[in-house]
Structure 1
């Protein structure tokens, strides 16, 4: 209020030239009435003036700080100090009246003391600051830079100045008496191009800066100082069209809203955005360029206050799909892969928090405006959760599917049609008959989900899903992971440049860094299709500070994986009428470095002819304290039964028949405790024993069998030595049970 009164008083009073601003604008003085409030006192006026001056001083200080930050550094004087005496130099002299300053000379340099140079002028020796003196070279021109030859080929939408002194924006005016920065001509050109880089999408420059702000190029222009061999490889691939397509798609879906910076709440963060460019299917006739706009939300503090984790399909569910596909193919049932385009932005729900982003350079917005993100976008922590909710609800409501009991990403439908779906973010692998496949296609169009063409598993068309590659070979399906196997390397004893993902290289990786990277890559392959490597990699995961012996042990397993890149799982056809689940469990007491026990299991689907498909396995360190071999074996069986019971319940609902569950162990003491109603000295074990007994009595466990140790495939989950039983199971898809003892129970269907 006081500031408004002060401004009003200034506008209504005469200025230094005798002019009244209000009179100039409105042509008359404001009408005064007796109803107007009384004039403020002198103290009030003084207070208003003081506050106004404080505001002016604050604005002036901010402007001075901005000018200082944007002002270029002074010219480098190191070359001047290195000159010998009596060398020729140029001196910057100010212009008179309306004339510009210029470099004059050459003159003789007499001496240099600190930053003061003594120069011999025609009028005699004169002292100058080193900032206005520079060495004289024959190719220097005192007046101005020579014109730069530009390429003759220019596009209609892009005009290139014929001289670097034309149309070069300069946001920071030079101070009087300060010589202009001694920039090289190609740097002046580069500065001019940067000032005009915000253009429409038809004029997108190729930005390959990679963190270096000097590397910005125009598509139809060449700089004489750069050669093709020095340019990044991506310069040969223009992503103009793919970036335009990405931006247009986001704008059509209403992902953004333009807001003014003044409307943004205080202390709000404005995230940056960037394009992720990639060539899909390189080297094939299906290759195409793809660009994705990503929010750089790696340092988002707000993500810790919301739910960001979204379910992903479990490995066991993925292998169950392949096992069922191998059994049901030929009966009008096929395996398909569906890929959703721009999945996150197709979510039906909007963001629950306010996110502001700076648009990329290719998008020109009005000054002082940014984007507010309304819908989930790649790079935001909660985007995946929004999409999962949308797509999962679509399958349940529109396709009338039911989720499995243990994995929300595994859904099935048995109402009038047969369909089993596995969801992995924007990819879905589903086994379906023709009715369900047509229904899925129809509902997808009704929901207006943008998706690629559906792929079907054939001999010539493998399917890539969740890191694994499924290939159809005759009547069997092969699951492999060959891409990561090519990136495996042995661990060295010294620092090396280690290849990383996406063609990148980590400089001077220490042996510990190599150990961690190769351990993770090997474990990833083992979790998909190489159960033989599970124990060694699980054992290596327990090492915090690896030593030479640890590296040698891991190198042995890595070398095996390098030599067997195509080692995978094969899924053969099984008889549905005699289908059963067999779970092998095993444990090793106190065999880890910290004296803990290693427990594991292998779960297979088998038929009456002993044909079998591996669907799940595990090798982990037992987190519970074990004081005996019996305790370790019991915890391993409890762990294996837990997941086996869930798989049994899901398969029984999908196939609409009861699936027997058989548990095999090579521990005689555990077998006796379960089937002979024995007891143990360690009473805390009775909780798990009574639970298994109860399931055994209610026929949730059809049989418990004591088998010979050499025929137990789960032995490979707890010991480093080679397991012949597991190798034969993978190679032949046959189960060879050497039964030692079992209970003859009457057949009973619960």
Structure 2
């Protein structure tokens, strides 16, 4: 707590001023957390002063709040390209990232315990604090201005990706809130950027990429392996499963679940917590994407039947926790994709489900299972909608790869198993 208060004083986070008439100060509190490494050992103990942002009012002490973060597909694509180019990926972390953001609005806060202030005085915030609604936006604007001054340019296709090109090569920086990945073939400029960032912010150089946002990355001579094994084991431990059974598949074939199946759960919070955690697990586990898509439809009113199928997914994960995605050095940087669709598979509204996966050579970088927005009157129409969704993702990935320095001069192969949909896509006159 002393270190945190010292950091706040060093950055000039607030000024002690009399509370203006008509202003309403917000309150704050301390939050404590134990940070662990990927193997579960204790890394450090953390104390953070957090503002109760729910007391803010729009138009009074905040306006815009949106701040971009790196798309997970961008993270996987960056790793796949780095594996092919034999680039080293460095990871850096910003200490107290949100404290570096400058505030444009007038925000007043009650002084935290331990600070002596004159009677009637409050803290006028000059810098952002964790908990403020506009804190992520203020931090990203500050970071973006610093890296652009260092020579980077933001990508038009992922605002959290910054690119620098020179005669010595290309440098890529990908930001996810306060965690960043830096890679490229311009070693000298990478060292310059690290030094420049350390001058502006309190940085931690975490060395080669190994553990990022709960994702474990292992670098070998053959390429990169990514997984969420520790995350999976922690989730199974928190779920409260008492048996040791495993399942061969995450869900039964042709399963159709309805909101009325079974009896509503007395406490749906555990179901919601597990489903929400599994949604993040699909970052490295495409094999459960469709099952989680189905189960997430019932988070508002889950039933005993839905919970039983959720436990099956957990038992499947227990037996496959060590599965990983592999991004090989020898993989060709050529896109190809697979698209498929159900037809009228939802028993309630009869909408179809789109599924696709996109490979960069042998590296799987993008996938999705999502219900379509309209009812299709034939299987060909459902498959054509799936082709359209996949094409949109391919076009975006081609733009992103161009930013990463991977040109795509040839058309991308998109595979589908529906003859009518293929004919319509090839010749729109048939539609």
TM-score (norm 2): 0.86
**Match 2:223 to one of 471, 476, 492:** 476
Q: Are residues 1:317 and 2:68 paired?
A: no
C-alpha displacement of 1:547: 2.7
Aligned twin of 1:365 = 117
Structure 1 position 549, deviation (Å): 2.6
Report matched runs for 1:326-345 at 5 Å.
326-329=83-86, 333-345=87-99
Quickly say closer, same or farther: Cα 1:574–1:394, change in 2 above 3 A.
farther
Confirm whether residue 563 of structure 1 aligns to residue 319 of structure 2: yes
Cα distance in 1, alignment partners of residues 161 and 226 from structure 2: 18
Please show how residues 253-264 of structure 1 align to structure 2 within 5 Å: 253-261=11-19, 264=20
Q: Is the partner of 2:88 in helix, strand or coil?
A: strand
Aligned-partner SS, 2:74: helix
Question: Max radius of gyration: which structure?
Answer: 1
Q: Does 1:663 align with 2:418?
A: no
Structure 2 equivalent of residue 537 of structure 1: 292
Q: How does 1:124-135 map to 2 (within 5 A)?
A: none
| Aligned partner (choices 55, 58, 71) of residue 302 of structure 1 | 58
1:375 aligned onto 2:127: yes
For the pair 1:623 / 2:373, whether they are aligned, the reply is: yes
CA distance 1:430–1:303, shift in 2 (3 Å)? farther
CA pair 589-286 structure 1, distance change in 2 beyond 3 A: closer
Pairing 1:594-609 to 2, within 5 Å after superposition: 594=348, 595-606=350-361
C-alpha displacement at 1:571, in angstroms?
1.1
Quote how far apart the aligned CAs of 1:575 are: 4.9
SS of the residue corresponding to residue 276 of structure 1 reads strand
In the superposition, relative to structure 1, how do residues 358 and 346 fare at CA in structure 2: closer, same or farther (>3 Å)?
A: same
Q: 2:225–2:325: 8 Å Cα contact kept in structure 1?
A: yes
How many residues end up aligned between the 2 structures?
A: 399
For 2:208 and 2:310, the matched residues in 1 are separated by: 38
1:461-485 deviations in Å (ceiling 9; x for gaps)? x2x2233221223322111113432
Deviation of 1:535 after TM superposition, in Å, equals 0.6
Measured against aligned partners, the alpha-carbon deviations of 1:103-151 in whole angstroms (never above 9, x if no partner) come to: xxxxxxxxxxxxxxxxxxxxxxxxxxxxxxxxxxxxxxxxxxxxxxxxx
Change (3 A) 1:456 1:399: farther
2:389 to 639, 645, 667: 639
- CA RMSD between the two structures: 2.4
Q: In the alignment, is the contact (CA less than 8 A) between 1:583 and 1:603 conserved in 2? A: yes
CA displacement at 1:285 relative to structure 2? 8.6
Aligned to 1:444: 197
Quote the Cα distance in structure 1 between the aligned partners of 2:57 and 2:389.
37
Higher relative contact order structure (alpha carbons within 8 Å, sequence separation ≥ 6)? 2
Structure 2 unaligned runs (5+)? 242-264
Q: Is the 8 A contact 2:352 2:371 kept in 1?
A: yes
Which one of the candidate residues 408, 413, 420 is aligned to 2:159?
A: 408
Structure 1: give runs of 5+ residues left out of the alignment: 1-242, 493-508, 607-611, 681-750
User: Is the partner of 1:385 in helix, strand or coil?
Assistant: helix
SS state of the match for residue 422, structure 1?
strand
Once the two structures are superposed, what CA deviation does each residue of 1:670-702 show, in whole Å capped at 9, x if it has no partner? 11122355513xxxxxxxxxxxxxxxxxxxxxx
Partner of 1:580: 334
Offset, 1:445: 4.2
SS in 2 for 1:406: coil
Give the 3 Å change call, closer, same or farther, for CA 483–649 of structure 1 in structure 2.
same
Could you tell me which residue of structure 2 aligns to residue 273 of structure 1? 28
Q: Deviations over 1:313-351 (max 9, x none)?
A: 11100101110121122xxx310001011111222x3x2
SS at match of 2:312: helix
**Which among 269, 272, 281 is matched to residue 525 of structure 1?**
281
Residues 649-688 of structure 1: CA deviation (Å, up to 9, x unaligned): 22134335335311111111111122355513xxxxxxxx
In the other structure, the counterpart of 2:402 is: 652
Contact 2:268/2:301 (<8 A) preserved: yes
Contact 2:339 2:416 in 1 (8 A): yes
- How much does 1:583 deviate? 1.2
Matched ranges for 1:415-564 at <5 A: 415-416=166-167, 417-433=169-185, 434-446=187-199, 448-457=200-209, 462=210, 464-485=211-232, 486-488=234-236, 510-526=266-282, 528-543=283-298, 544-564=300-320
Please, what TM-score do these two structures have when normalized by structure 1? 0.51
Q: Is the 8 A contact 1:281 1:288 kept in 2?
A: yes
Q: Following the alignment from structure 2 to structure 1, what is the Cα–Cα distance between the partners of residues 41 and 292?
A: 38
Question: Residues 664 and 375 of structure 1: is their aligned pair in 2 closer, same or farther, counting only changes over 3 Å?
Answer: same
Counterpart mapping for 1:49-198 below 5 A: none
Asked whether the 8 Å contact 1:308–1:381 carries over to 2, the reply is yes
